[in-house]
Structure 1
Amino acid sequence: MSKTDKVKKPKFTLEFKQDAAKLVLEKGYTHQQAADSLGVSLSALGRWVRAEQPQPAVAGAKAQAMNLADHNELVRLRKENEQLRMEREIIKKAAVFFAKELG
Structure 2
Amino acid sequence: MSSKRYPEEFKIEAVRQVTDRGHSVAQVADRLGVTTHSLYAWIRKFGPDSEQHQANADDQVEIRRLQKELKRVTEERDILKKAAAYFASQSD
> Which runs of structure 1 show a deviation greater than 4 angstroms over 4 or more consecutive aligned residues?
none
Residue number in structure 2 paired with 1:55: 49
Greater per-residue helix proportion: 2
Name the aligned partner's letter for residue 16 of structure 1.
F
TM-score by length of 1: 0.47
Please tell me the residue identity of whatever aligns with 2:55: A
* Structure 2 unaligned spans of 5+: 59-92
Residue of structure 2 aligned with 1:31, choices 2, 25, 28 = 25
Of structures 1 and 2, the larger Rg is shown by 2
Letter in 2 for 1:43: H
Structure 1 residues without counterparts, runs of 5 or longer: 1-6, 67-103
Is the contact between residue 43 and residue 50 of structure 2 (CA under 8 Å) also seen in structure 1? Answer: no
- How many residues align? The count is 57
TM-score, scaled to structure 2: 0.53
> More displaced, 27-36 or 49-58?
49-58
Displacement after TM superposition at 1:29 (Å): 0.6
Question: 8 Å contact 1:21–1:48 — kept in the other structure?
Answer: yes
Change (3 A) 1:9 1:25: same
